[in-house]
Amino acid sequence: MADRTYPDADIPAKLAEHGLTEWYLEGGWIRRKYNTDGWPQTLLAVNAIAFLCEAAWHHADLQITWGKLWVKLTTHDSGGITDKDFELAKKIEEVVLYRPAAGTALAPGNPKKFVFTK
C-alpha cells in the first residue's frame, strides 16, 4: 500500500511545519543544498546521510562536489512526496547541522565552519 502523497501546493506548508526552511520543492523532489568547509566535511556529511537513509530504508539522491552537497527526496513507490520525505529531511537537517550547545561538555565543537547554510 502506497503512502499518502501531498499535492505540490501543500509542500511549502509541510516543509515549514517541520522547520525545513532551507528545503524547497522542485521537479517532484524536496531538495536542499548544504555548503561545507571542504572535501573531508562533504564526505562526512554524505556518510551521515547515507547512514540515516539506510536506517530509515528510505534513500536520498545525492550530488556532491568539493564544498557542496545537494540532497533530494521523494517516495518513488508512492509517486510523490510523503511523510517519509519530511521525516527523513528533518533528521538529515538535525544530524548534518548538529553543533554542541554552548555550556555543554562538548562545546564549542569543531572550530571550522564544517557544514553550514550560505
Return the closest-CA partner of residue 85 out of 47, 34, 46, 93.
93
- Superfamily of domain 8-113, CATH level 4: Transcriptional coactivator/pterin dehydratase (3.30.1360.20)
The 10 Å Cβ neighbour count of residue 15 is: 22
Q: Is residue 113 scored above 80 in pLDDT?
A: no
Rounded Cα gap, residues 108 and 102, in angstroms: 6
The 10 Å Cβ neighbour count of residue 46 is: 18
Quote the mean pLDDT of the chain: 93
Q: Is residue 112 scored above 80 in pLDDT?
A: no
Rounded Cα gap, residues 100 and 91, in angstroms: 16
Q: Whole-prediction pTM value?
A: 0.91
